[in-house]
Structure 1
Amino acid sequence: MVNTDLDSTIPVASSRRMSASLAFWTVGVTYLVVMASSAAPSPLYPVYQASWGFSSTMLTVVFAVYALALLLALLTVGSLSDHVGRKPILIGALVLLAISLVLFIAADGVGGLIAARVVQGLAAGTATGALSAAVIDLQPNSTAGPLVNSVAPSVGLATGALGSGLLVQLAPAPTVLVYALLIAAVVLLAAAVVFVPETSSLRTIESKRHLARLLLPRAAFPTGARVPFLMIVPALIATWSLGGFHLSLGPSIIGTIFGIDNHIIGGVEIFALFFSGAVSAAVVRTLPPRTVMIVGTLVLALGVAASLVSVATETVPLYFVGSVVAGAGWGATFLGAMRTLGGLVPADERGSVFATTFVLSYLAFSVPAVVGGIAVHTFGLEPTTLVYGAFVIVLAVLSSTGFVLASRSGSASSVG
């Protein structure tokens, strides 16, 4: 029988050379750095645009190819760690990530930038399912894993954007230094992961045909928990589409609508959004998942509404307040989703189910942002921002309403 007790961990080989507690934090930090690397190029986009002269539409293409490559990796190798182990997948992903960072340094035009983002997306997609599953496998208690799985993306995106913004504004050769520092971090983490105990139940790959079937793009849903899973989908779309928009066009909003020509401010705005999400997740981590989902989506909608008012009135302080509030909703909502899944998914399904969750998340992360970039070219930045924000608000309210109605009918008992 599959063990679904999240307070216990899967037995690991006796030859392990790192304690479970240290391994848990090593994997968590690895997750954070992978996400930081994905946000690091954002403050550099205006620099690339000024140097190479590409449009806002091309900018969102550069952003989106990362997410699409990530999706391809998630759909093909996302569940492979359930079969071959978490460690081989993670080490391979970190090698790919280091290669992508070298490509960023070598890029001398938009084509090189796209190539680097594609390899970076493949690396992140390969790592994401295995990282999320390993965090749950190694967690010291039933709340630590979902907390890290929800906080690591937000803190990683926040620190990646802020750190990159600071280097762009203050340091020499930022298009080299940003990636060189990340390469050093990735190499160190890859060496550390070698000593992390293997936690996968290692389901057998019976033949080459079986391996080929595993690599076919597919989605996996948690057994017996499809209704709660489908209930969180609008919330996932709302949160990740908001994040994608800020990472791709947030610096343009700061520069074009508010007239602020400072790369640090653009990084701070992204940092405010995602770091407040991390703080929010930590604050609400002990509340029932259903409560977290309801409150989180409403706070998200409120924050986005404040941001839209600030854009319409060109009020900079309100824009930052809206980002902080929306980020708090982002963090709480995503934590609620991860806790829901963490409590329902058997150990030998975690890699594939978390991969499916992130497929949905990164589709929301990329596709609306690309549509938004095209809309900016046609309708302008401010109208696009207002419509995009309204789209996020509608989804957030829809998700919150669904959980409230399910709670009253008693059908949401499985999600807390």
Structure 2
Amino acid sequence: MHLTYIAAAFTSVSVFVAASLPAPLLERYRERLSLETSDLALATIAYFITIMITLVCFGRVSDYLGRKPVSMLGAAVALLSCVVMINVDSLGVLLAARALHGIACGIATSAVATFAIDSAPPYPRWLAAATATGAPALGNSTGALAAGFAAEFGLAPEVVPFVGAIVLLTCALVLLALARESVPRRPGWLGALRPVVALPRSARGLLPGALAVGIATWALGGFYQAFSPTIAVHSLGTSSVLVAAVVFLSHQGAYGIAAPLSGLLPPRRSQRLGIVLFAAAACGIVVGLFSGSTPLVIACGILAGLSQGAAFTGSMRLLLDSTSLEERAGMVAAVNLIAYGGAIVPSFVAGQLARTAGLAPASILYAALALVAAVIVFSPRPAPPGRS
């Protein structure tokens, strides 16, 4: 099963590499296509909405068709999205590419993530949850940095990074073809396409805190994805795409590092410590943007990523400990659905605020979400069933 685990983990990372490549390049697209800042927020919203639709409709399909074919579909859609990105010449094509990214990432955060959880080695016990939550962050940070380097050194940044992602995704498809299925195929997959949010009863006592963490942290992730280039240009005074990539990497890269490290702590402690530090970091980002301090924005971005990794991975570990194998795909899809859904409204509001008042006032919204999440996490909740 180790080859299967490697194939699933590699596929998850590769899909998010492809999806994150446009993030530091959005300012270039805005200038080349004569777009508004709000159009960049619209591209992010298109990405989130298609992720949500995919999670609702495809979240349980792998329970019936198997993890392997659905994972291969996700990799194939991600590959197609890279082909479309190479040919972006209007806002409509950009939105279509981001929609394809959303479909691929929706499959990656449900079927592919569950495939990795199913096939992960039994020890260390935290590896499965760390892979499910950390692989997207590792992919996001790698893709953003690759695009930033390509732009900084004139390596056809709107073409070469996407060609590289196509190579990665082709390798992922080969690995998946060699992988072993982790669940038996059974009839009823058409019924599984019916939109359902599957929340196992055994995990419902844990959901308020987990979902609050997911919404607050993924909302800030959406902020970095949509506005890293704009932060670099308008708030930090540089047009360097590499700096935009570093701003994005400061958050997503740290998240990818913290996800496995959080396994050193009990899951509830990881969740609580993480959300407290995340709230402090979100407030620090607000201060940094208002003061125009590049070091403070990057330092707080790193802290936000580290603490998000701890908080969200701890939350996912609590949920996985309370659900059965048959419930995993639906539960993972539901949690990610609600987290991504919670990020759409802040992204839309922030886009409007950024157009009229600037990014610094818009960032206050994310700090407020983080503080509310911390309050919810520390509210009295039932102890999780099963092991901890």
1:395 corresponds to which of 348, 372, 378: 372
1:37 equivalent in structure 2: 18
- Post-superposition offset of 1:283: 2.2
1:270 equivalent in structure 2: 248
d(CA) in 2 for partners of 1:279 and 1:242?
Answer: 17
Q: Deviations over 1:63-91 (max 9, x none)?
A: 11111111111111111000010111011
- Post-superposition offset of 1:278: 2.2
- The AA in structure 2 aligned to 1:197 is R
1:85 corresponds to which of 52, 66, 70: 66
2:140 equivalent in structure 1: 157
d(CA) in 1 for partners of 2:74 and 2:170?
Answer: 11
- Post-superposition offset of 1:199: 0.3
**Is the Cα contact below 8 Å between 2:4 and 2:179 reproduced in 1?**
yes
Indicate whether 1:108 and 2:89 are aligned. yes
1:316 corresponds to which of 270, 291, 294: 294
- Post-superposition offset of 1:413: 4.2
- The AA in structure 2 aligned to 1:281 is A
Q: TM-score, normalised by structure 1?
A: 0.89
Indicate whether 1:167 and 2:150 are aligned. yes
2:349 equivalent in structure 1: 371
1:57 equivalent in structure 2: 38
Which piece of structure 1 moves more, 165-174 or 39-48?
A: 165-174
1:200 corresponds to which of 164, 183, 195: 183
**Is the Cα contact below 8 Å between 2:214 and 2:336 reproduced in 1?**
no
**Is the Cα contact below 8 Å between 1:97 and 1:120 reproduced in 2?**
yes
- Post-superposition offset of 1:258: 1.5
| SS of the residue 2:199 aligns to | coil
Query: What are the equivalent positions in structure 2 for 1:175-324 lying under 5 Å apart?
Result: 175-205=158-188, 211-324=189-302
- The AA in structure 2 aligned to 1:358 is N
- Post-superposition offset of 1:366: 3.0
1:12 equivalent in structure 2: none
| SS of the residue 1:174 aligns to | coil
d(CA) in 2 for partners of 1:123 and 1:280?
Answer: 24
d(CA) in 2 for partners of 1:147 and 1:337?
Answer: 11
2:127 equivalent in structure 1: 144
**Is the Cα contact below 8 Å between 1:297 and 1:399 reproduced in 2?**
no
d(CA) in 1 for partners of 2:10 and 2:4?
Answer: 10
**Consecutive unaligned residues in structure 2, runs of 5 or more:** none
- Post-superposition offset of 1:271: 0.9
**Is the Cα contact below 8 Å between 1:297 and 1:329 reproduced in 2?**
yes
- Post-superposition offset of 1:212: 4.0
d(CA) in 1 for partners of 2:5 and 2:84?
Answer: 30
Number of residue pairs matched?
Answer: 385
d(CA) in 1 for partners of 2:288 and 2:56?
Answer: 38
**Is the Cα contact below 8 Å between 1:105 and 1:176 reproduced in 2?**
yes
Indicate whether 1:347 and 2:325 are aligned. yes
d(CA) in 2 for partners of 1:282 and 1:190?
Answer: 25
**Is the Cα contact below 8 Å between 2:250 and 2:305 reproduced in 1?**
yes
d(CA) in 2 for partners of 1:87 and 1:43?
Answer: 32
RMSD: 1.5
- The AA in structure 2 aligned to 1:154 is A
d(CA) in 1 for partners of 2:321 and 2:185?
Answer: 21
**Is the Cα contact below 8 Å between 1:274 and 1:331 reproduced in 2?**
no
d(CA) in 2 for partners of 1:396 and 1:230?
Answer: 9
**Greater Rg by CA:** 1
Which piece of structure 1 moves more, 280-289 or 346-355?
A: 280-289
- Post-superposition offset of 1:392: 2.8
**Consecutive unaligned residues in structure 1, runs of 5 or more:** 1-19, 206-210
Query: What are the equivalent positions in structure 2 for 1:396-411 lying under 5 Å apart?
Result: 396-402=373-379, 405-406=380-381, 411=382
- The AA in structure 2 aligned to 1:159 is T
1:120 equivalent in structure 2: 101
Q: Deviations over 1:68-127 (max 9, x none)?
A: 111111111111000010111011121111111111111211111111111221122123
- Post-superposition offset of 1:187: 0.9
